[in-house]
Structures are given as C-alpha cells and as structure tokens.
Structure 1
Amino acid sequence: MPRFSVVVPVFKVQGYLRECLDSVLGQSFTDLELIAVDDHSPDHSGAILDEYAARDPRMRVLHLPENGGLGPARNIGVEHACGDYLLFLDSDDSYLPGALAAIDRQLAACGDPDVLIFDHQRSYWDGHTEASSYGEQLAAVGTQTFTVAENPELLTLFHVAWNKAYRRTFYLREGFRFEPGLYEDAPLSNEALVCAGSIGCLPRVCVDYRQRHQGAITRSPGRRHFDIFPQYASLFAFLERRPELAAHRPLLFERAVSHLIFCIRHRERVRPADRRAFFREAARLYRTHVPRGFTPPRHRARDCRLLAHNAYALFAARESLRRTAGLARRCARAARPPLARAHHGLYYALQRLLPLYPDVAVYSAYWNRGPACNPQAIEAKARELAPHLRSVWVVRQDAVPSLPPGTDHVVPGSRRYWRMLARARYFVNNVNFPDHLVKRPGQVHVMTHHGTPLKTMGLDQQPYPAAAQMDFGRLLRRAGRWDVSVTSNPHSAEVWDRVFPCGYEDLPAGYPRNDRYASATAEEVAAVRARLGIPRGRIALLYAPTARDYRKGFVPHLDLERLSAGLGEEYVLLVRTHYYYGRDSVLRDLHTRGLVRDVSRHPSVEDLCLAADALVTDYSSLMFDYANLDRPLVIHAPDWESYRDTRGVYFDLLSGRPGETPGPVTRTEDELTAVFRSGTWCGPEARALRRAFRARFCPWDDGRAAERVVRRVLLGEPSSSLPPLLPPDERRRAPTPQEAEADVAATPQAAHDLGVAPEPFS
C-alpha cells in the first residue's frame, strides 16, 4: 500500500500536462501512486497519459467514455486509490520539488491526522509568482492538531481540493463525494474539515497554482458560475443530515455568503448582464439556509441585509459608488507622481545652481540596497585616510532598517536626496546612478563595477537574446558620466575599454572588496564560522549560483536535499541565491530541517567566502574573488550551453585549460557528489588549475585596492605615488578554516570569545 494516492483529473490540458506529471513522478519521495483520470479529453492528453504510464508502473490511467467534469472524475479516481492518504492535483498545476516529502514528514510529526492543509503559490502567465496569504496562519499551528470546534479559523483557509491530504480511511468512512459542476471543491472541503477528528497544517509551499491567461474555468465568465448555488445547497443538506455539526453552520454560512459576493463582483466570473439573476439566486439561497438567530460579522452585515431583502437595486447602486470611489482613488494616486516629479525637478534644478559640497561623498551599491561591495570598502578606507569627508549612502526605504547604526543616508526621492545629487562632489557606485542624475562640472564619478566579466557586458551584449530590450544609447550616456573606472585585472580592463568606450580614467587598483581576503585574521575566520553555526572540524561548502537571463525566478539546478544526503555529515552546505531573487520556500524548508544553511540574506558575501572551505558555483563572478583565498573551486555547470548561447561569454569556463577553468567541472548532481567524496576537489590537478586562474584574474588584489582608490580619487594623489603592487609571493592571505581553528584552539581566550550562538541570516 503506497503512502500517497495522487488523483489527477485531466481535460484539455495537453500543454501543461507533462509538467504536472513530471512534478509528481519526479518527487524525491517515491512511495506513491498516481491515478490519472482522462475525462474524455478531446486533445492529445490521453496519449500523453498512456506514454507516461508505460514508463512508470506507479501510474495508472483511467479513460472515461464521456466527459463528466472535475468532481465526478476525482470520485472515480478515489474509487481506484489504495494509498494511506488521498491528494488531488489539478492537471495544469504542479508540485514543487520536495513537496511530498515535506507532507509526509509533517503528517508523521502531527500523528497522521485526518486532514493536513498545506500552502501554495500562484504562478502567472508572465512568469511571476505570488505567495498565498495563508502562510502565517498555517505556520502558527506548528505540529499541533485541532478540530474545527477547537480552532474555527481553519474554516477561513482556502477551500480547494488540492491543498489538503486526506486520510483515505477517514475520507471513505464519511462518504465524501464531489458534486458535478463548478465550485465542487467548496462543499467537500468544508465537509471534511468539520468532520475531521484532527487537522494539521504545513506552512511549506507545496503546490504551484497556475493562473492561466485563458482557459481557466474560474476566469471564463458565463452561466456556468451559477453552479455555485447547488454546490452550497449540497453543503447545507449535508449539515441537515448531521445535526451534531450544527454549531459550525453559522461560520460556514458566512463563508458561503462571502464566496457569493466575491463572484458577483468579479467580471471574469459573473457577467454584468447576469448579475441581477445571480443576485436573485443568492438571495434565495440566503433566505432558505440562513441559520436561526444568525448574526453576520460587521464587515459582512450590509451584504447580508441586502441578500435577506433581495435588494439588488440597492446592491448595484452601492457597487457603482464603490467602483466610482475606487476609480477616484486610482486617479488621485496616478496624479501624485507627475506633480511630485515636477516639484522635485524644480527643486533639483535650483539646487544645481548652488555651490558644491567639496567634502561630501555619495555612495550606493546594487541599486541602493545598502552598504556593500567595493563602495563599502572604499568608504571604510576613506574614514581612515580622509576623515574630513562626509559619507552619505543612497538607500531604498525597505533597506533602511538593516543599516549599521549611525549610517548617514538618504532615501531616493526625498528632498535631501535631490540636494545631495545636486551638490555632492564625489559619487561612488558599483552600478550606474539613475538617469535623472545630471552631472555638474566639478563632480567626480567613480564606477567600481561588481565583478570580473565572464558573461558579455555593455556593447558586447548586442548580438545576444538576453539583451534584446536594452537601450545601448542610454547605457553609454551613463558610462559617459564616469571619471574613474576601477579595474581588478587586465582582462576586466580590456573588456571595459571596449564595451564602455567613454573618456574615463582606468584605475588598475584591484577590487577594494577583496582587500578583506588579505587582511582577515584567524580569529575573524573562526568567528564568522561560529556565527554561521558551522561545527568545528566540518567542511563548509558555499554554493552560490548566479542569475539566469533566460529564466525568471530562482530555479535551482541542484536537488539540494539529495546533494546534502550524498555529501554526508562531514559537510555543511551553505546556499546563497542571487540577490535578484526573493525568498525561496523550498530552500527555507531545507534550512529549517537543518539540511542546508540558507545564507541568501547574509549581509556580507566576503564573510561567507572566509567561512567556506570551498566554493561551488556556476558562472558567478564570485569565483574570481574567491580565487584570492587560494581555496578549492568547483564549477557545476549543467546548463552551460544555454547560458553561453543566450548571454555570451568571454572564454570557455569548461575547457579545462589553465587560466580558464579554476577547478573540477561537473554537469550532474552525481558528478558533483563524487568530486567531493573522492577528494578530487582538493587534489593536485585542482590546485594547478586554481593557481593558473588566480595568476590571470587576481594579479592586482594585494590588499591595498581601497587605499589606491581613496588616494587617487578622494585625495587627488597622482598615480605615480600610489602604493606599488606587492609581488604574489609576498602577499598575505586569510588563513583557511582549518588553520584558523588550529590557531584559535591554541589561544584559550580567543576560543572562549567564539562561544556565540549562530545568527539566523536566512
């Protein structure tokens, strides 16, 4: 008997069906059966089902002789199920990786309840996803179980079939069945919850709920939406047959009214021409099933009164006023930005007529995310060598709470922001300042960049698909404001000169952010590892993949759970997603379970590199910085051809040639695991490749890059007087984690000082 029976009704979904089936059969949790019910689909769906069933014995296909709809198809699937738990998945939706394993773990933690409710996300046709609004409510329950009598708020959760796991013996004992027609989820979901002797919750996002551009039933207006009335009539008939459930009737009735009002207000469900008839049916259902003594909640009282009196004219008038008021608010909001822009433009123009502040330097990094990278290292050195200068950071509003105490900052769009843009003398950024910045005579702009280019940049991007929407004229106008371009190695200097052909000075200083790799002490390295919760003696691997121009959102090219299991207890896996991406629910779940350490929100990537025994990356420029530490580098590049062809690259990272490949290269998870289990990652061939790579890309990173920038730009010293480059054999590098642990262990006080609790950076 399998743990799960996943029932998938199928009708006219040939374009989405393979993704759905792959998401079930490709789960890391394999103790399942998939029952696909071909609801007499007129497209190629039936053949796709047969193709999959021929390959995987866990899948059964039921071909129905005629179309009966979602509800009856699910009922037939249940009749053939034999798993411990029933799950329903719509055939245009999909499970996220690791979903079934997470559901199984939570079921066990909750003592195998009658029902487990789990979270979902909405996935839109344009590629963006949206978290549900139920995550906090689900998380608050923990591993406790409740009945609806103990926790009535459970009835306010999303009532669909596919966000729950039902214990099959409970489901069959209660005789649950889906009714034909639309909105079949609502009655059964409510019936199951009020009958359940125990209900658990799982806040992990398990289902990707596809919001189709066209074709979705709930977004196809018409008379079929009148099916909602017999569906709710069936729910109230169920309650009539079960008098012991009468206490739940008022809340279920209120939820039904809320659902009816929601439908009538949405054009993609109830057409304007059908609203009067829909309201009349809603009023009839209201008067027929309103519980004795029912008192509606305050936010629903007016709707209930109108339904009770079948007052459609008043309802329509109120809706017209509501829509008019909403339109007025939207128009007012739309008018505010132009007025504000005009005001700020005038203020900015007037400020540009006033003298410059000769002792003010404006800093920004990564589109105003806060102090970081090369600008942060330069600002820190300026406080030491040029204390007369005032530093002001441009920081977006949502990043202000995380600023270090005492950081002087301005928020974009504020009056002081415009004043600083108009009158500060120095501007330091690792990306371009906005187009609205007008460079005045006497102002000095420093472009620090934020990586060594493997992928094509600037004008070199023009032939590639990823740059199709870029305005290269505007790009060159931004680069035309640069006075100084800080370069980290000859390769970068050559690329910048070609792809940003403007009149700036090239400053071959090295990267200021990499100074830390030459100055960090054993105590610092050990302290960072302690804060990250890395146990002594464990090998920490930092996995830091880059963004993909050809994909939206974070799409891991590794099964991190499988990789963690394959590496074993000897290793600790630190995972840092690219800053373009938001929080990833799967990664957060793995972090919570202790399988990986999600360090995506750690404030310092330099700290992470110091803590790591090795770096695993794909095409991230972090590899060039990490090479300064002379620690193992592994390239995991499963999609190299796609990345190369869509974005373009300057050299073949996978060639194996010295100076191009920094260490072992893997293309599959098994190869990556084998590199570490076999010791190849730190063997003599890896050391030789790393040495040649470091010689090519780290020749100027000797620990004094920030000093060179401050002296040349902020203090105006000539290039000839800047600190000379240290020869490679005279340079200091930060101690490895093993060296740091040995040094700290030999100093009792230092070891005592490291007794700190791990910090939650995920």
Structure 2
Amino acid sequence: MPLLSIVLPVYRVQAYLRECLDSILEQSFTDFEVIAVDDCSPDHSGAILDEYAARDSRVRVVHLERNVGLGEARNAGLGHTAGEYVWFIDSDDWIAPGALAAVADRLRTAEPDVLVVDYAKVWWDTTTKHSRLSALVASAKFPRTFTLAEHPAAIRIFHVAWNKIYNRDFLLKNDITYPTGLYEDVPVGYPVLMLADRISVLERVCVYYRQRRRGAITSTPGRRHFEVLDQWDALFQRLDAIGERAAPFRHLVFERMLYQCLLVLENPERIARADRKEFFRAVAAAYRRHVPAGYTFPGGREGAGHRIVARNSYAQWRTFRSGLDAAAAAKPRLVEVRNAVRLRTRLNMLYYRSRLRRPMDENLAVYSAYWGKGYVCNPRAVYEKMTELAPGVRGVWEIKPGAEAEVPAGVETVTIGTKAHLRALAQAKYLITNVNYRGWVVKRDGAIHLSTNHGTPAKAMGVDQLKHPSGLGDLDMAALLERSDRWTYSVSPNAYTSEIWERAYPCNYETLETGYPRNDVLATATPDDVAAARERLGLRPGQVAVAYLPTYRDYEFGSDALLNVESFADRLPDGTVLLVRVHHFDRSHVPAGHPGIVDLSDYPRVEDIYLAADMLITDYSSVMFDYAVLDRPIAIYAADWDKYRATRGAYLDVFAEGPGVATDDENELAGLFVSGAVSGPAATSARALFRKRFCYLDDGRASERVVRRVFLDEPVPPAPAGRAVPVMAPEPLPEVHPVADDSPAVALPAQRDRSASAARLGS
C-alpha cells in the first residue's frame, strides 16, 4: 500500500496536463500512486494519460464513459485509491519541487486527519502571488496538530480540495464525497475541518495554482455560477447533520458564504451584467435562510455590504459599487483612445466606427496573410476551397499598398488604409488571417474570426515566451492576447500543436485540429506539379536542389548561427544548387552572384520551394514539419542550439526528436551530404517517426475540413481513417556519425533516383 494516492480529475487540460504529470512523477519521493480520471475529455487528455501510464506503473487511468464533472470525477478516483492518504490535485495546476517529500515527512510524523499545504497563484504572465496562509498561521499560532475547536481561525483556510491531503479512512468513515455542479468544494472544505481530530498545516508552497487567462469555468460568465448558492445550501444541511460539533462555527461559515457570494457577484467573468440583479436577490434570500441567531455585522466595507444584502436593496448595492464601476468603465475608453491613434487620421477611425453601426454582411469574408503582404499560406488555401464549397460567400483580400499586382487576376482586393478596406473590415462577418488583425479591429457580435496560424511550433510561442524574457524584445504580450481574444477558431495541424496553442494563447476559441490547409498542395502533389515548381524557380531537369530555410532569430546572435552558404555550396557535389530563403534582416548572409546559390528570400510561395527541393536544411523553423509531408531527406543545422534554447525556448529537441540527421557543426553537415548519410537508414527511420507524430492529418483535405466547419457550420470529422492520433514522442534514434570530411564525394540520393522520389508524391 503506498503512503499517498494522488487523484487527478482530467477534463480539457491538454495544454497543461504534461506539466502537471511531470511535476508529480519527477519528485524525489516515490511512494505514491496517481489515479488519473479522464472525465470523458473531448481533447487529447485521455491519450496523454494513457501515454504516461504506459511508461510509468505508478499512473493508473480511469476512463469515464460520460462527463460527470469535477466532484464526481474525484469520487470516482477515490474509489480506485489504495494509499493511506489521498490528495486531490487539479490537473491544470502543478506541484512544487520537493513537495511530496515534505508532505510525506509531515504525514508520517504528525499522522493528521487533514494536512493543509500552502500554495501560490501563478498568472499567465508568470506573475506569482503567495497565499495568505502564512499570515494566518502566524496570527493564530497553530500548533503542529490541532482541532478547529481549538483554533477557529482555521475556518478561513481556503476551502478548496487541492490544498489538503486527507487520511483515506477519515474520508470513508465520515462519508465525505464531492457533490455535482460548480463550487463543489464548498460542502466539503468546511466540514472536514470540523470533523478532523488532527489538523496539521505545512507552511511550504506545495501547489502552484494556475490562474488561467481563458478557458476555466470560474472565469466564464454564465448562469451556472448561481450553483454556488446551491452548494452553500448543501453545506448548511451538512452542518445540521453534523450537529453539535458544527454549531459553534455557523456564524463564521455564514460570514464566509457572504464573502464568497459577493465576490462572485462583483466578478464580471462570472456573473453577466444582465444577471446581477437576480443573483443579488438570490444572495439576499440565502441570507434570510441561513443567518444565525445573534449574527453581528463585521466592520468596514465588508460589513456595509452585508447590511445592504440584509436589506435586500439592489439599488443601494449599485450605489455602493458605483465608484469601482466608474473606474472599470474608464478602461475601455483609454483603450479606444490608444487604438485610434494607430490609424492615419481620426477621420478614418470615425469612418470605421460609423461602418460598424451598419448591418453586418453575412456573405463577406476578408482575408489577410502576413499583415497584407500577399496572397499566400493557409488563408490562400482556405480562400480557394471556400470559393469551391461556399460560392455564396464573397472573399476580399487586404493587401499592402503597392502589392496589389502580386495577387492573381480575378481575386478581389482592398488596399490597406483605404475607405474600402475599413468598410470591409467593419462589415464582414468573416475575418481570416494567419497572424492577427490590428489591435483596433473590432469583433462584432456574430462575427467569425479564423486564425489559420502559419507554422508548427518548435520554438516557444505566446505566453510561453515569458519564461525566456531575454528573447521577448519589445513584444507586448497583453496586447497580443487581446488580439487573440477575437479568435473564434484556431487551426492546428496536429495534436502536438493543439496542446501548445491552447497553453501559449489562453483565449476562448475552438481549436480546429484539421491539418494545415497550405500543406494540401504538398500532400496531393504530382510529378507534373513538381516539374512546374522547378521550372518556376529556374531549375534544370535533373539538377539536384537543396533548400536552406532557417528561422529568424529575434535576439542578438553571432554570424556563425547561420550556415555559411557560400562555403557550403562549394562543398556540394557538382550540379547541386542551394536554394536559400532567409529573413530579410539576414540578407547579408546570402552572397550575390554565386553560381551554386539561388536567393529566394523574396519569393512569395514557399510551397514551390518545398516541391522543387530534393532535400532540406533548416534549424528550428516550422518548415521542417511542412516539408516532412513530402517524405524527403531533412537535415538540421543548429549551431546556436544551446543559446537559442536558453534565450527563445524550444518545445522540440531537434537533435533527439528531429526529422532526420542533425548537427551543430558546419563541417559535419557537409559530411552528411557528401557521404549520403542525410538519406541513410537512421535518417529515414527518424523521418518516419517524425511524420507519424506530426503529419498524420496531411491527407490533402485540410482546407475542406476548415471550410466546412467555418462557413458551412459542420463538425470537424475525426482523423482520417487509419491515421491514429499520436501523442508519444518518438523513441531515441541511433546517433549518426558522418564520415570524415575528406571522404570521396558520392552521388546524392536524389541524383541517383529523382524519379522514384517524384513518383511517391502522387501516391
């Protein structure tokens, strides 16, 4: 029998679940079991749990057949526990290093019925705030073990489940289970303190309590928050059943009820403005039901609020809150003023605002790619499929001044900054982009904003960048998330990306796990498509092309971070050409006039480069995921891996989990190509695992899936038949040892059999 059973209810937490599980399983203390309860989660949480259970015998997974809610999921987990003590942990939080050892030590020495541990709140921007437990302990002077009767101040301990570890027999003997509905902690958190003969408090932060920016039910307005009153009713019924042992604490519990219910009322993320009066009336009714005899009002602002509730006067409550309401109302005006200056003139802003008052055009869609730079990427693929499947919707592209000529004939455009542009943005029902529309763009009621995104993340993105402040530059994270709040849908190419996007961009959107629309042309490419792309790039028939597509470094780096393309091109076999596409800030790294180098940094369609190239060299760029769809050799050149990982952060270890061979040395890279190891057995095996993990949705129908969901309101179908959703990382691969740099040159695999490679594209 383990000392500790950790019960982990799981529902829609794929973005945070790995961090939670890792924080538990990597502890130095090991005498525990994890009972993970998959509460019929609609995301990949269940698969992640099965992955962990397969590799760690301490994890057991209970898959529920229907969603029962947090309380019942905890009860289900409790029924499978075998430990002497039980700890209910929320699966979007995580455990501090060393916490389990400290908890185990206190459990063994104090033998409590209930052990209370400290916690810290952590917000999306990494702001951390310690709880008030230490101050409470200091003022009340709790001994090592005590009862609530001995120290009534303990009633102010946060009443949630996850800051307490329970003796399992204590729970069973007192028939303690969690109710259904929201605020399920209320009827349990207080009675356990009243019933315990031995309470102990561990003044050590053991839990990091995640304050989710979006997605948590506690920060989603709705009438379900009325359930808090039902839970308080249930609590007072439980106190009646407990009897004399609970009687001395009714006054204190009643005060906590008013404190919490008024907090809920004041929180716009819980009670919508239209429901506030009704909720206030319900709180006043609860006051009358449960007010104990001889109740005296506390002092100060809290007591003034209680008196208004006792009088059941919503008008007085609104007056009481008017000062804070006025302060809150001022904030949108400040945002509006700040946004207004982003347009060329106030006149344009006034025009845009006036068009927002016009009826929304239900059949107008505005498209944008890279802030209006062209007709490319995922938005292009969605647009073209929309014209086929939803021809009644009119698509218009916003284009930067001077770039209109780059858009094909027949595609309607509006030039950014013109009245036609502002009018389209104001009145379109659909706004589609692969980045983000400008901060001043308003999302109208009923409008649909589609973020197609434009890459699979190998490097840290969104709020995860806050862990690497030196790589942030002048990025305004709060403003970025405000823009992302407008998303209705966010396109994801695979399960791996869905997990990351939901954590990196904690906003209220629906994830469309469809594959990337722009990769449809790769999945369905024929030999004729390949030949046409090569012709557009000026390649000769039979000429071997190696693409070099590095990512942009948004931090200070040395010149050796990028490949010396001139030197590398000189070392490639005769007849091989290097196709180079770097960021325009890095243009100095591409020499002009070299016969073996083609500078494609200004070439608009990266898909053509993919199709034309026989092999790829990249580093941390998302191009590795796209190019892998073609199942051609890929080499990773990551000269600044240690610095990049420390400065920008990385989700993927490009050496252990990459799609082929990898090196941080330019000479070794040349050797991999000269020897043919770039397409040898180890590289091929690595690529196969990589494709299974990341490319399983690339069947050529991603655009169709997106269009059907967004424009035709059809559900996204499951993964294509025979394409299981993989969440496990690939097994470590054998290390590749390139031959010495002075080995004799051999023909590259693409030179030996380009026709076979091209034929595979049509399969």
Q: TM-score, normalised by structure 1?
A: 0.49
Query: What TM-score comes out, normalization by structure 2 length?
Result: 0.49
